């Protein structure tokens, strides 16, 4: 099997920093908090941009724009809820074989770099 027959295609977003209304405690509900979003999307081997056209792959601008829209759409009590809403949107694309999302809150504890949640699909 040649290298091209065993390719792995991935789109990723590293450390998207968003301000989000999130948290269950009173002080968390008073003002937006910083959240960090990381996403790894494995693309199906049917994705093959032969003609250099955006419709031949997953348009990551659609994903990026929707992540920001979801984060601003409401107050979230839990990072799990925010992550699951983003997950549900992205996994709906038919060009994806695996998806992993992590969301962290970096400003919660002074002696801890980040606290967060990760969700991922089963790898095929």
pLDDT for 30-70, tens place per residue? 999 999 999 999 999 889 889 999 999 999 999 999 999 99
**pLDDT tens, residue by residue, 23-41:** 999 999 999 999 999 999 9
Q: What is the pTM of this model?
A: 0.90
CB 70 within 8 A of CB 82: yes
Q: Which residues pair with 44 in a beta bridge?
A: none
Structure tokens at 53: 């056209």
Structure tokens at 66: 């929707």
- Mean pLDDT for all residues in the chain: 93
List the CATH code of the domain at 9-120. 3.30.1130.10
Backbone angles phi, psi at 81, to 5 degrees: -65, -45
Residues in Cβ contact with 12 at an 8 Å cutoff, skipping those fewer than 6 apart:
38, 39, 40, 41
Q: How much of the chain, in percent, has pLDDT values that exceed 90?
A: 86
Structure tokens at 50: 């032969």
């Amino acid at each position: 099997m040649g290298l091209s027959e065993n390719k792995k295609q991935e789109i990723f977003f590293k450390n998207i920093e968003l301000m989000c209304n999130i948290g269950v405690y009173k002080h968390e509900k008073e003002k937006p908090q910083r959240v960090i979003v990381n996403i790894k999307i494995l693309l199906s081997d049917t994705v093959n941009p032969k003609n250099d056209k955006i419709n031949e792959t997953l348009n990551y601008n659609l994903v990026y724009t929707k992540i920001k829209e979801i984060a601003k759409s409401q107050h979230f009590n839990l990072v799990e809820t925010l992550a699951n809403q983003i997950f549900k949107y992205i996994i709906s694309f038919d060009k994806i074989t695996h998806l992993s999302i992590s969301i962290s809150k970096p400003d919660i504890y002074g002696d801890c770099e980040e606290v967060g949640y990760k969700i991922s699909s089963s790898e095929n």
